[in-house]
Amino acid sequence: MKSISRKIKNEGEKIGFVPTMGALHEGHLKLVDTAKKYTDFIIASIFVNPLQFGASEDLRSYPKDIHYDAKLLENRGTNILFTPSDKEMYPEEYDTSIELPKLSSALCGATRPTHFKGVCTVVCKLFNIVAPNIAIFGEKDAQQLIILKKMVADLNFGIKILAVPTARESDGLAISSRNIYLSSQERKDAPVIYQSLMLAKKLIENRERNAKKIKDEIRNAISDKLTAKIDYIDIVNKKDLTQVNILEGEILIAIAVWFGKARLIDNITLRIP
């Protein structure tokens, strides 16, 4: 992969990179579309990164169908699919990890304490292997996006991170590889996450600035669904992910909710006028 990507760059082509864990859906394919808009050669990767799963999480059951995924990527114009093995990525005696302790302690990091260390480590490795000009990530994973942008700046990578808006089902549910875990009742209830974000947006448009009041309204809306179990509802400063009490500047409203075995996340970003 390394020698191919260096050859492509030496020929003057720009590489767009879409790292994934497979189980591809329209959200991932929109990342490919964006990569094609800005670069000449598209490399996607599929690697279900064990480092970013906690001990009790769904590493073993994470959906896998690499041939189907490869077809989807090819049809959408991906030039190369890179699928390293666990052993190639983390040989015995592997010892290196990367972390951003401040940005990783909030939101998903609070309930998944080693998750972002795993994400940063694998993305750094993939960046060094693929050497892209641009890498594309989805806005659904808002904290991941903010952390990776910071890592790229902090470690002086010469790589541009592009963000693509969350792809949604017609009822607003953010498309996720984990949606296949949902029972039919859970699937019916899950759009409440996005609905509650839209409710929050409306409250803010109507000049509500008290974060606690907005979070309470979100909590009430979600708690209405019997299959929902809230992990967190947070309103934070988009830059440093610190809690906001009175809304101002650019804020991120981020939510994680369990529906059965599926932990679903969603978010919106707003600039308070």
Burial classification of residue 156, based on how many CB atoms lie within 10 Å of its CB (0-12 exposed, 13-18 middle, 19 or more buried): exposed
Annotation marks residue 25 as catalytic: no
Is 157 one of the binding residues for its own copies (CB under 8 A)?
Answer: yes
Minimum CB separation from its own copies for residue 138, in Å? 22
Where are the strands (E) in 180-249, listed by range?
228-237
3-class DSSP assignment, residue 118: helix
Is 154 one of the binding residues for its own copies (CB under 8 A)?
Answer: yes
Is 263 one of the binding residues for its own copies (CB under 8 A)?
Answer: no
Is 11 one of the binding residues for its own copies (CB under 8 A)?
Answer: no
Is 180 one of the binding residues for its own copies (CB under 8 A)?
Answer: no
Is 240 one of the binding residues for its own copies (CB under 8 A)?
Answer: yes
Minimum CB separation from its own copies for residue 102, in Å? 5
Minimum CB separation from its own copies for residue 107, in Å? 15
Q: State the angle between helix axes of 115-130 and 142-154 in degrees (0 to 180), rounded to the nearest 10.
A: 60
84-113 positions binding its own copies, by CB under 8 A: 93-103
43-82 positions binding its own copies, by CB under 8 A: none
Minimum CB separation from its own copies for residue 126, in Å? 8
Q: For strand 228-237 and strand 80-82, is the pairing parallel, antiparallel, or unpaired? A: unpaired
120 or 164: CB nearest its own copies: 120
Q: Is the distance from CB of 264 to CB of 190 less than 8 angstroms?
A: yes
Is 32 one of the binding residues for its own copies (CB under 8 A)?
Answer: no
Contacts of range 207-215, beta carbons closer than 8 Å, 24 or more positions apart: 208/247, 209/246, 209/247, 209/248, 209/272, 210/245, 210/246, 210/247, 211/235, 211/243, 211/244, 211/245, 211/246, 211/247, 212/245, 214/247, 214/253
148 or 173: CB nearest its own copies: 148
User: By CB under 8 A, which span of 21-29, 147-155, 205-213, 217-225 interacts with its own copies?
Assistant: 147-155
129 or 142: CB nearest its own copies: 129
Distance CA 16, CA 8 (A): 11
What residues pair up with 267 in beta bridges, in sequence order?
254
Q: Is the distance from CB of 221 to CB of 203 less than 8 angstroms?
A: no
202 or 239: CB nearest its own copies: 239
Residue with tokens 């609905």: 195
Look up residue 157 and give its amino acid: F
Question: Looking at 85, 156, 184, 206, which residue binds its own copies (CB under 8 A)?
Answer: 156
Residues of the shown chain interacting with its own copies in the complex, contacts defined by CB under 8 A: 2, 6, 93-103, 120, 124-125, 128-129, 131, 150-151, 154-158, 239-240
Residues that are catalytic: 28
